[in-house]
Amino acid sequence: MDKLVIEGGHRLRGSLPISGSKNTALALMAAALLPDGPSTFTNIPDLKDIDTFSKVIRVTGAGVDFDAAGHTLRIDPTPLAHPEAPYELVKRMRASFYMLGALLGRCGRARVSLPGGCAWGPRPVDLHLEGMKALGAEVELDKGYVVARARGGRLEGGTFRLEPSSVGATVNLVLAAATARGHSRIENAAIEPDVVVFCEALHAMGARIEGIGTRTLEIEGVTTLRPVTFANCADRIELGTFMIAALLAGTPGDTITLEQAGAGHLGQAFLDAFRATGAELHAETDRVHVTVPDEVRAVSIETDVYPGFPTDLQAQWTVLMTQAKGNAKIVDRIYLDRFKHVPELRRMGANAIVVGNEVVVEGTSRLQGTTVMSTDLRGSVSLVLAGLVAEGETHVLRVYHLDRGYEKLEEKLSRAGIVIRRTTYDEFADPLLEHPHEA
């Protein structure tokens, strides 16, 4: 199994490239199943989640070709004949559940495994299922699978209000509504950039969607959609992660540049909190310059749906606050227990205490490098961030979590001055047996 070893104390400098958005790419891949021919997407990141979803799509018979070096993905739905998504693959990546909307939209039927939970919670799909019923689907649960069928072979369309607003449910319902017989309205729809860009791609395919970027989507179903060549947007969460890395490991007064991404997708709450630390931020169309302040001030945040502070940057912000001047309170209003990284940070010496869906962090705590365990994608990258500033070496285990959402992380950080390497280890080695005197 792979781990990352980071030698703390080296300064981040120069520039880092931002890859294409993972979460947008997954929605675009599902949309590619709707048209009557092959679509091509550019700026698709070379990630484990993209590979997993490619496998899910191939199970249906559709063709998927990924030029990883060129970040170009081609999906041909023409041979699709098997509207199923198996548990063995869906359990690895929750967004596979988008197959429900895509297959219902294309074939009028679907058999899709229910996604499991994840490291930090149950991750329900009740909104997805109730929404599909509102669009005219008959939905049953059979041995852990959702078996759905459009009465008369094609969904009617309908109105559904999302409570709470859900990124995944919005994507799934738009996939199903785009080719329904009639009109659909989705209320309290998610407006995360991932959803907006996905809707823009469907619009380019000929879908009739009004209100893109607002919380009310009005969709007139169409019978056919045309294939497209479409550019994916940059990954706002990778961008935010590296902006935080700059404040953690950059040299005061230095400017670090994040390439191939603008700041517009980060949302106002993150930009405001970032500037409140004392950091200077200068954003151009496709690059962001961060000037590192002499001292990072503690800034308390609460996560929320877009344009609120992204929950996917909560763990990274927590690490930043261990080094900030003062104490900070971090509240996650999206996921009530997304704090599995905190016990690992405490083992490194962080003064952080979780109370319910809040973590209180005491600033300027000295971190010590040690061996720590990744539990989920954003938690694992937060441990790497902690390793940047910890004394000595930090060994981050189970980086398969991290490989789901960060492309060539060690390469990007190494090029920007960090001493980090990937190596393998035996997850089940028992030091007590092998080196009794060293244990």
Binding site for ligand EPZ (CB under 6 A): 23, 26, 94-95, 123-128, 164, 166-169, 194, 311-312, 334-335, 377-378, 405
Single-letter code of the amino acid located at 213: G
Q: State the residue number with the nearest CB to ligand EPZ.
A: 168
Measure the CA–CA gap between 196 and 217, rounded to whole angstroms: 11
If the CB atoms of residues 172 and 277 are measured against ligand EPZ, the closer one turns out to be 172
If the CB atoms of residues 170 and 298 are measured against ligand EPZ, the closer one turns out to be 170
CB of 99 to ligand EPZ, least distance (A): 13
CB of 125 to ligand EPZ, least distance (A): 5
If the CB atoms of residues 87 and 425 are measured against ligand EPZ, the closer one turns out to be 87
Contact 19, 234 (CB under 8 A): yes
Token look-up 């010496």 returns: 349
Given 107, 118, 199, 233, the catalytic residue: 118
CB of 374 to ligand EPZ, least distance (A): 13
Measure the CA–CA gap between 43 and 396, rounded to whole angstroms: 28
SS3 (DSSP) at 136: coil
Instruction: State phi, psi for 158 to the nearest 5 degrees.
Output: 170, -175
* Residue 12: exposure state from Cβ atoms within 10 A (0-12, 13-18, ≥19): buried
If the CB atoms of residues 126 and 426 are measured against ligand EPZ, the closer one turns out to be 126
If the CB atoms of residues 367 and 396 are measured against ligand EPZ, the closer one turns out to be 396
CB of 72 to ligand EPZ, least distance (A): 21
- Local structure of residue 438 (DSSP, 8 states): T
* 199 a catalytic residue: no
CB of 119 to ligand EPZ, least distance (A): 10
Measure the CA–CA gap between 200 and 27, rounded to whole angstroms: 11
Measure the CA–CA gap between 409 and 52, rounded to whole angstroms: 19
SS3 (DSSP) at 248: helix
Which amino acids are annotated catalytic? 118
